[in-house]
Amino acid sequence: MRVLGVDPGLTRCGVGVVEGVAGRPLRMLGVGVVRTPADAPIGDRLVLIERGLEEWLETHRPEFVAVERVFSQHNVRTVMGTAQASAVAMLCAARRGLPVALHTPSEVKAAVTGTGRADKVQVGSMVTRLLRLDAPPKPADAADALALAICHIWRAPAMNRLQQAVAAHRTTKGRIS
What are the residue ranges spanned by the domains of the chain?
2-172
pLDDT in tens, 8-32: 999 999 999 999 999 899 999 999 9
141 is catalytic: yes
- For residues 146 and 151, what is the distance between their CA atoms, to the nearest angstrom? 9
> How far apart (Å, rounded) are the C-alpha atoms in residues 27 and 78?
32
Residue 39, marked binder: no
Catalytic residue from among 50, 55, 141, 144: 141
Q: Which of 39, 50, 58, 68 is catalytic?
A: 68
Does 7 belong to an annotated binding site? yes
- 141 in a known ligand binding site: yes
Does the annotation count 119 as an active-site position?
A: no
d(CA 10, CA 54): 16
Residue 144 bears catalytic tag: no
| CATH classification number, 2-172, choose in 3.40.640.10, 3.30.420.10, 3.40.140.10, 3.30.420.130 | 3.30.420.10
Confidence of residue 70 (pLDDT cuts 50, 70, 90): confident
- Give the lowest-confidence range in 16-20, 80-84, 144-148: 80-84
In terms of DSSP bridges, do strands 27-35 and 12-19 run parallel, antiparallel, or are they unpaired?
antiparallel
Is the CB of residue 111 less than 8 Å from the CB of residue 8? no
Mean per-residue pLDDT for 128-140? 96
- pLDDT at 169 > cutoff 80: no
